[in-house]
Structure 1
Amino acid sequence: MRKNYVIIVAGGSGSRMNSDLPKQFLLLAGKPVLMHTIERFTRATSNPKIIVVLNESLLNYWKILGKEHHFEIPHAVVKGGNSRFQSVKNGLEKIFQLEADNLEQVGIAIHDGARPLISPNLIDDCFDALYEHQATVVAVQSTNSVRIGSVSESESIDRDSVWMIQTPQTFSAQVLKEAFLQSELASFTDDASVVEKLGYPIHIIPGDHKNIKITFEDDLKIAQLYLQ
């Protein structure tokens, strides 16, 4: 039977939130955003083991928050790196150590800590898709008209062919092990782009427009409304 893991990447800063506190620690419905995110994965029947990647300077603060909010969901914590690529790589190395003799039976999701509204059913869909595909992303089609180019010259494109990428992005462990042996490139904007560089096709799983990423202050207000 396959064993599932999720790496929840939570190393962002609060620079775009007008806050000194990183967005994953801001309160949403009375508790930190990151705690909501972790809880969503515990509700999934795919039952992934949880690894949280945090900036080293915030490890102790996370422990304090856990005590304050009586947060007891089992999860491992790994130190983050200087980039998302390095942070994910650190999380993967933890899994590779734990499952060194069983990688062919391991599925791994990678999820943004600041996406606290992910549906447990969608999480399950992502892991189920690994039985047919080695690399998947959650995405929603654009609801807006789309133009590509610069401010001085652009052209319209068919919005039905435009997908807005979300997380989780889910992969077989063996594919990720190969992909993250590569040197980091500026073109690696997400985990799928790392895998795609090796030539693996990326399968799209239709996502959920409610699966927003907390980036700006208004996002927190929207998330609060969705939780009511």
Structure 2
Amino acid sequence: MNKYAVIVAGGSGTRMRALMPKQYLPIGGLPVLMHTLKKFARAIIDIKLVLVIPAGDFELWEELCEQHQFQIPHQVVAGGKSRFQSVKNGLNAIKEQEGLVAIHDGVRPFVEPSVIQSSYEVATKSGSAIAVVALKDSIRKLQDDGKSIFQERQYFRLVQTPQTFQLARIKKAFEVIELHTFTDDATVYEHQGWQVELIEGNLENIKITTPEDLEYAEFLLSK
């Protein structure tokens, strides 16, 4: 069964306060996005990578690949106005209907290979595999009256990527009109009435969004 990965990196990097979007900023001498692509290429033999970035970034990405002699095979696809549209464009670039596809944030370069591999194994059997981690801190729910109430943290999980699916199913799920309730790919999948399967992610699999995240990323690489 063919295995694909749609790596989505359509952000503008506003919160990073940098001259270029966060996915192209260097950590350990390489752009963040290259670290992410390398993780998938090393985790799965013969994986087919689809990289979704803004159309206006194609030339920049080509220059970065030449500069860093980045030669991991991948197809570049133009993103859309929202993450939903960008993922849909990435899925549409895959012409096959059978197989498995992991959808992953381009700015999560620290996903463990074992999580990637597990996601494909579980999705093969159950249709989906969503990486999550348990909460460490206590949590409270804010109410409309300005008060808050305690919540049992064992009933909650923080959602990460990859979110891996049987290709035919997730393609069908993305045929719908985009809704504001679609916060990730799992919610699009659930909209069809299908239950998602959760797998254990890894805490280091942070989404690099702020300058502080970039500093922590450098620390993780130094380990």
The normalised TM-score by structure 1 is 0.94
User: Percent same amino acid at aligned positions?
Assistant: 43
Code of the aligned partner of 1:121: S
1:9 equivalent in alignment to 2:8 = yes
User: CA contact under 8 A between 1:44 and 1:124: conserved in structure 2?
Assistant: yes
SS in 1 for 2:107: coil
CA deviation map 1:101-137 (0-9, x unaligned)? xx23x00000000001111111000001122211221
Aligned counterparts of 1:58 and 1:72: Cα–Cα separation in 2: 18
How far the C-alpha of 1:74 sits from its partner, in A, is 0.3
1:213 maps to amino acid: K
Aligned partner of 2:63: which letter? I
Distance verdict in 2 for CA 1:47–1:147, change over 3 Å: farther
Q: How many residues align?
A: 221
What's the offset of the Cα at 1:20? 2.8
Q: Which runs of 4+ in 1 moved over 6 A?
A: none
Question: Quick one: which of 211, 215, 224 aligns to 2:218?
Answer: 224
- Which residue is equivalent to 2:17? 18
Aligned to 2:39: 40
The within-5 A match list for 1:11-90 is 11-45=10-44, 47-90=46-89
Find the aligned partners of 2:211 and 2:62 in 1 and give their Cα distance.
25
Aligned equivalents of 1:207, 1:166: Cα separation in 2: 7
Residue 91 of structure 1: how far off its partner (Å): 0.5
2:91 and 2:23 map into 1 onto residues whose CA distance is 21
1:178 aligned to which of 160, 172, 195: 172
Displacement, 1:224?
1.1
List runs of 5+ in structure 2 lacking aligned partners: none
Q: Which residue of 1 aligns with 2:132?
A: 139
Displacement, 1:47?
4.0
Distance 1:195 1:122 in 2: 20
User: Equivalents in 1 of 2:129, 2:20: separation in Å?
Assistant: 32
1:117-175, CA deviations, whole angstroms, 9 ceiling, x for partnerless residues?
Answer: 11111100000112221122100011110111248122111111110000000000111
Structure 1 CA distance for aligned equivalents of residues 126 and 82 of structure 2: 27
| 2:191 corresponds to which of 186, 197, 201 | 197
- CA-to-aligned-CA distance 1:8-30 (integer Å, 9 cap, x gap): 00110110011131110001001
Which amino acid in 2 is paired with 1:13? Answer: S
Q: 1:71 Cα shift? A: 0.5
Under a length normalisation based on structure 2, what TM-score does the superposition of the two structures give? 0.96
Point out where structure 1 has 5 or more consecutive residues left out of the alignment.
Answer: none
Preserved contact between residue 46 and residue 124 of structure 1 (Cα < 8 Å): no
Deviation readout 1:46-86 (Å, 9 max, x if unpaired)? 54210000101101100000001111110000000000000
